[in-house]
């Protein structure tokens, strides 16, 4: 076990290092200069140079990379070009909002996707299953921003039921009214992400359930006189959950930084929106910091997924 | 006996399954030596982990050997590459247990059989190739018109015939049949066994017939080689193996065959325990843990393969010329 | 003697995508008496597994019952509802399947899986009592260290040990009838001998229905035999009578096709032709196209089961002297 963890962490570290290096250079090679965006053309060249120096952009890319790594080792993600605040502070302000959205979406997707997936597998080939399949196909193929705008138009503009954007109505209310206000704002972005994600959870659950229900040990369970509901709950579900857990892990990992479009459309103050804004502002340090968080979350979710699967399936041994 | 066609000398194959510096080897085949004579059928029997299939692959050069040598008609063929290797490869062919797995479902069976002929440029004219394939189909008891059909249109027995036709397409001298009838139903198995016997006479073939069913292996073989955990336990003429059984494992295998007998049930030796893993096997006799005649010595000293009678080799400390009375239980 | 199971002219089949109805099992009639071990023998596709699954109504979806009945202690199984069937499964009738590798659930412990039937059928039973029962049963089927094995998972068991677990699982509620579908086919020869020995020991406890393609296994374990071909019972009766004096041409052919330990050198008997598929079963006797003793008449009308001995029945016109027999014309 200890050896598994060491090996796993080493691997994770390597992946992390490679991914931040790649993102570092991709960002630096974007074809424009962040200083141009911040500078008033009336400023003198010496002011511009001072700014370049302040941001460290006067040095070569290699030197910048070394500095970046040194700072990272000290836990310093740098300073935002735009707001001049430490990047870690900027990210920590946004991260809770993304996590809130993430948990709502994942819990809802699992709560809806798994039971419907199981139901669909149980009634394979019947009308209800075919109907569910069509809905799933629509859900998977729909273009997320289109969905977001559709919801926005329907619920905020046409029926005027829900707020159009942001995470709360300023100025923030107090106590329970604040919570209700936030949740109201969260409904549309959650609904958008939920629709996009529940389909894949449902489909994975259904397909693996169908495979599992064909297994010999399911027939063995029936031959012992176990009732159908119990066969599904006790014998099939645990085996069928493995692919579902894997996709959920991947989904969660990527959603930390991946809900860029949804968060931007609903002006949700999370990491996705932050990435969008930082790209427009060429705010290298914030962009870099967001990608570090994204890489970390993918890696951590991966490890957690593997641990859960190993816990479910005794055949998988956590050994090097 | 007639001339030697294949000479296997001290063939050994270890599979390294260790990781991170730990030493773990599957002793798949260990120090196996035997000679294959022209026009004979040598049966190889053994259970899971006996290394019988690995042995076949080593002889064919499908996997590299750890040590040891294989001589074909007097020339060493282990690790040989180039033109000579392809000649050897076409001289020694293999028939597998599941021919369906080796037939491409989207290619007509005639074309599958023709493929080795074309690749090896045995026949260049397209028309002649087809004629040759039709001749082969005829030879294995299928209709030449079946050339244009696809694998799924055939039954298990017919697919095995197709597999045999393909193996024969390069005019081999040695045919290695690895569990070639094991997946077939009794009545189909009988047809394929008869086919093997007929082909042997018609084409003057030499067989290595690998199987787990001793009654089938006995039926086709002149000599039988018994393997256990990668080692030869006993090798002798078929009659000798059955009448003058020397190794306790052979004895147990023979007694384990369920036979249709209306009168009385035969005495059966039930071996204790499971077949041990061939990973890092013990020092003494490999059969020690399950042997019903095991002595202290067997756990400590590794027995050598001894010739206890003419052409009868046994790997057991206690076997001796003439009698096998000591094996009675 | 009372009948545990009685098949009465049972007919079953399926519908294909285009709605055509096919027949799989035709007019199956036989009974399993109390305390008797019955072997159901036949080659792939003869319907022997379908017959065994019918007893527990565990048939795949899409299958349709076309007539006749199956009685359990005189009550129609076909009339029973889901709940009544669940009550019988695992308690009165239990089943062992062929593949010990896949028939056990990989994510549950052996202890749980063996004890589950007790939990289902005796809801009042305390967990400690269930565990004690399971341990006793594991011991009984020859699993060493049951205390440790109880908490282990299937992948930690060898093939032979898993089959023992399956047997323990099937026996845990002391069923009246044990159905074993090819219980030793997937096992190594010496392990097969061990499991056969175990099955011999447990068969005294109740009735047994052994489904297999291996005549030797039936000969060793069973008192009575049912020979099936293409979904029909072609011959049945006392094991000694059938094996010593087989009547049906198919039974005779099947027995002659097995290479026995003394058939060496002779050509094996083969039944001409191949096993028909469901879609091209003959209207009359389904074996007639391959039968060397058949006449044109056999093809038109299905033969009736005829008594040819004390406990020996054959479905063949050759032995039918009644009026309307095509052989009498």
CA distances from A67 to A70, A81, B62, B218 (A): 5, 16, 54, 77
CA distance C163 to chain A (A): 13
**Does residue A173 belong to any structural domain of this protein?**
yes
Kindly determine whether residue A226 and residue C102, on different chains, have CB atoms separated by under 8 Å: no
pLDDT (tens digit per residue) in C25-43: 999 999 999 999 999 999 8
* Mean pLDDT for the stretch of residues A103-125: 94
* Of A165-174, A263-272, C70-79, minimum mean pLDDT range: A165-174
Q: How far apart are CA C51 and CA B124, in angstroms?
A: 54
* Mean pLDDT for the stretch of residues B307-316: 92
Task: Indicate the SS3 state at residue A177.
Answer: helix
**Does residue A121 belong to any structural domain of this protein?**
yes
pLDDT (tens digit per residue) in C304-316: 889 999 999 999 9
C164, burial (CB in 10 Å: exposed 0-12, middle 13-18, buried 19+): buried
Phi, psi of C16 (to 5 degrees): -90, -175
CA distance B275 to chain A (A): 21
CA distance A3 to chain C (A): 22
**Can you give the length of chain B in residues?**
329
Please give the residue that has the higher pLDDT: either B296 or A255: B296
**Percent of residues, chain C, with pLDDT higher than 70:** 96
**Does residue A196 belong to any structural domain of this protein?**
yes
H-state helical runs in chain B: 52-60, 83-91, 99-102, 109-119, 126-139, 156-168, 186-203, 214-220, 238-243, 248-256, 296-300
| pLDDT at A93 > cutoff 50 | yes
A84: left (phi over 0), alpha (psi -120 to 50) or beta: left
- Residue C239 confidence (pLDDT): 93
Give the chain C residue whose CA is nearest to the CA of A217.
C103
Integer Rg of chain C from CA: 21
| pLDDT at A100 > cutoff 50 | yes
Q: How far apart are CA A57 and CA A282, in angstroms?
A: 12
The CATH number of whichever domain residue A126 belongs to comes to 1.10.3720.10
**Does residue A192 belong to any structural domain of this protein?**
yes
pLDDT (tens digit per residue) in C116-143: 999 999 999 999 999 999 999 999 999 9
Interface test with C, best of A121, A220, A221, A240 (most C CBs within 10 A): A220
| Residues 6+ positions from A149 with CB-CB distance below 8 Å | A265
Task: Indicate the SS3 state at residue C24.
Answer: strand
- Dihedral angle over CA of B35, B37, B42, B44, nearest 10: 20
CB contact, 8 Å: A208 with chain C?
no
With CA atoms as reference, report the closest residue to C185 among C33, C48, C9, C3: C48
**Does residue A259 belong to any structural domain of this protein?**
yes
**Does residue A154 belong to any structural domain of this protein?**
yes
- Residue B103 confidence (pLDDT): 84
> ipTM for the complex?
0.90
| pLDDT at A190 > cutoff 80 | yes
With CA atoms as reference, report the closest residue to B305 among B216, B200, B215, B230: B230
Sheet (strand B231-237) strand order: B92-95, B174-178, B206-211, B41-45, B223-228, B231-237, B312-314, B306-309
- Dihedral angle over CA of B53, B233, B174, B84, nearest 10: 80
Please give the residue that has the higher pLDDT: either B134 or A3: B134
pTM for this structure? 0.86
Tokens 């109390």 belong to residue: C34
Of A216, A223, A312, the CB nearest to C99: A216
**Which residue(s) pair with A191 in the sheet?**
none
- Residue B16 confidence (pLDDT): 86
pLDDT (tens digit per residue) in A170-180: 787 888 888 88
Q: Count of domains in chain A?
A: 1
Phi, psi of B112 (to 5 degrees): -60, -45
Q: How far apart are CA A24 and CA A77, in angstroms?
A: 12
Q: How far apart are CA C228 and CA C255, in angstroms?
A: 13
Q: How far apart are CA C101 and CA A9, in angstroms?
A: 34
For chain A, the residues whose C-beta falls within 8 A of a C-beta of chain B are 3, 320
Taking CB atoms and an 8 Å cutoff, what residues of chain A touch C169? 220, 224
**Does residue A69 belong to any structural domain of this protein?**
no
The domain containing residue A188 runs over which residues?
87-312
CA distance A219 to chain C (A): 8
- Residue C31 confidence (pLDDT): 94
SS3 content of chain C, % helix, strand, coil (to 5): 35, 25, 40
**Does residue A55 belong to any structural domain of this protein?**
no
Within 13 Å, how many C-alpha atoms sit on residue B42's CB side? 24
CB contact, 8 Å: A238 with chain C?
yes
pLDDT (tens digit per residue) in A38-55: 666 677 777 777 777 777
Kindly determine whether residue C258 and residue B186, on different chains, have CB atoms separated by under 8 Å: yes
* Segment 55-94 of chain C within 8 Å of chain A by CB: 56, 58, 86-91, 94
| Geometric angle at alpha carbon C7, from C6 and C10, rounded to 5° | 160
């Amino acid at each position: 076990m200890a050896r598994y963890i060491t090996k796993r962490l080493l691997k994770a570290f390597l992946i992390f290092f490679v991914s931040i290096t790649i993102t570092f250079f991709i960002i630096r090679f974007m074809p424009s200069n962040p200083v141009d965006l911040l500078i008033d053309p009336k400023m003198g060249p010496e002011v511009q140079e001072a700014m370049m120096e302040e941001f460290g952009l006067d040095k070569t890319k290699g030197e910048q990379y070394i500095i970046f790594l040194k700072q990272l080792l000290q836990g310093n993600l740098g300073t935002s070009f735009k707001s001049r605040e430490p990047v870690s502070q900027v990210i920590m302000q946004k991260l809770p909002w993304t996590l809130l959205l993430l948990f709502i979406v994942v819990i809802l997707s699992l709560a809806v996707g798994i039971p419907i997936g199981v139901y669909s597998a149980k009634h394979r080939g019947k009308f209800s299953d075919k109907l569910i399949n069509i809905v799933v196909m629509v859900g998977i193929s729909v273009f997320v921003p289109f969905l977001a705008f559709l919801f926005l138009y329907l619920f905020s503009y046409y029926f005027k039921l829900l707020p159009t954007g942001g995470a709360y109505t300023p100025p923030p209310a107090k106590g329970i009214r604040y919570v209700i206000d936030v949740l109201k704002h969260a409904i549309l972005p959650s609904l958008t992400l939920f629709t996009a994600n529940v389909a894949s959870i449902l489909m994975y659950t259904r397909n693996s359930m169908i495979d599992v229900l064909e297994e010999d040990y399911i027939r063995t369970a029936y031959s012992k006189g176990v009732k159908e509901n119990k066969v599904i709950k006790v014998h099939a579900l645990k085996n069928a959950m493995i692919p579902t857990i894997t996709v959920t892990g991947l989904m969660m990992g990527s959603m930390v930084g991946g809900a860029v479009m949804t968060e931007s459309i609903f002006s949700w103050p999370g990491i996705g929106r932050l990435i969008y804004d930082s790209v427009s502002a060429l705010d290298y340090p914030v962009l870099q910091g967001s990608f570090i968080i994204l890489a970390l979350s993918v890696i951590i979710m991966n490890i957690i997924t593997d641990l859960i699967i190993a816990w479910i399936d005794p055949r998988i041994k956590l050994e090097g | 006996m007639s001339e030697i066609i294949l000479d296997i000398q001290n063939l050994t194959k270890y599979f390294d399954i260790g990781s991170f510096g730990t030493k773990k080897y599957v002793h798949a085949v260990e120090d196996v030596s035997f000679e294959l004579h022209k026009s004979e059928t040598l049966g190889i029997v053994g259970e899971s982990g006996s290394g019988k299939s690995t042995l076949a692959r080593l002889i064919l050069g499908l996997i590299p050997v750890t040590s040891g040598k294989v001589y074909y008609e007097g020339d060493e063929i282990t690790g040989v590459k180039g033109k000579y290797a392809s000649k050897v490869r076409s001289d020694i062919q293999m028939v597998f247990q599941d021919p369906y797995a080796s037939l491409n479902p989207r290619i007509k069976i005639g074309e599958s059989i023709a493929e080795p002929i074309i690749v090896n440029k045995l026949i260049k004219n397209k028309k002649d190739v087809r004629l040759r394939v039709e001749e082969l189909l005829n030879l294995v008891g299928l209709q030449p018109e079946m050339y244009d059909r696809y694998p799924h249109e055939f039954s298990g027995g017919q697919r095995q015939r197709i597999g045999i036709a393909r193996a024969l397409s390069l005019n081999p001298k040695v045919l290695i049949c690895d569990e070639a009838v094991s997946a077939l139903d009794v009545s189909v198995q009988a047809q394929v066994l008869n086919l093997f016997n007929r082909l042997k006479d018609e084409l003057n073939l030499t067989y290595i017939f690998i199987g787990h069913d001793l009654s089938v292996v006995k039926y086709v073989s002149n000599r039988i080689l018994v393997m256990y955990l990668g080692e030869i336990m006993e090798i002798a003429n078929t009659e000798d193996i059955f009448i003058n059984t020397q190794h306790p494992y052979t004895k147990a295998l023979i007694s384990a065959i369920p036979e249709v007998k209306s009168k009385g049930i035969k005495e059966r030796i039930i071996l204790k325990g499971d077949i041990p893993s061939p990973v890092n096997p013990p020092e003494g006799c490999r059969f020690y843990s399950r042997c019903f005649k095991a002595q202290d010595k067997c756990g400590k000293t590794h027995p050598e393969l001894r010739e206890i009678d003419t052409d009868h080799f046994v790997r057991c400390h206690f076997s001796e010329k003439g009698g096998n009375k000591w094996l009675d239980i | 003697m009372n009948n545990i199971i009685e098949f009465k002219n049972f007919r079953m089949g399926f519908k294909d995508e285009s709605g055509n109805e096919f027949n799989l099992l035709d007019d199956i009639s036989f009974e399993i008496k109390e305390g008797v071990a019955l072997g159901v023998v036949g080659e792939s596709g003869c319907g022997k597994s379908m017959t065994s699954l019918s007893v527990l109504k565990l048939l795949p979806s899409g299958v349709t019952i076309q007539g006749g009945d199956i009685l359990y202690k005189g009550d129609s199984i076909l009339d029973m509802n889901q709940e009544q069937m669940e009550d019988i499964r695992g308690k009165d009738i239990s089943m062992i399947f062929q593949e010990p590798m896949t028939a056990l659930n990989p994510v549950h412990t052996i202890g749980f899986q063996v004890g589950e039937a007790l939990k289902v059928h005796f809801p009042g039973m305390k967990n400690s009592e269930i565990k004690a029962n399971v341990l006793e049963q594991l011991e009984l089927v020859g699993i060493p260290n049951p205390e440790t094995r109880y908490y282990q998972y299937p992948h930690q068991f060898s093939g032979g040990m898993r089959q023992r677990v399956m047997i323990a699982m099937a026996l845990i509620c002391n069923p009246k009838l044990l159905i074993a579908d090819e219980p030793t086919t997937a096992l190594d020869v010496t392990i097969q001998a061990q499991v056969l020995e175990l099955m011999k020991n447990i068969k005294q406890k109740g009735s047994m229905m052994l489904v297999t393609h291996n005549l030797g296994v039936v000969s060793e374990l069973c008192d009575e035999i049912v020979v099936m071909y293409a979904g029909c019972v072609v011959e049945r009766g006392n094991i000694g009578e059938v094996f010593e004096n087989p009547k049906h041409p198919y039974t005779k052919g099947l027995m002659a096709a097995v290479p026995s330990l003394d058939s060496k050198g002779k050509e094996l008997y083969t039944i001409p032709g191949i096993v028909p598929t469901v879609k091209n079963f003959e209207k009359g006797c389904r074996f007639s196209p391959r039968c060397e003793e058949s006449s044109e008449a056999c093809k038109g009308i299905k033969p009736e089961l005829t008594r040819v001995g004390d406990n020996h029945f054959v479905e063949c016109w050759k032995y039918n002297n009644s009026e309307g027999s095509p052989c009498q014309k």
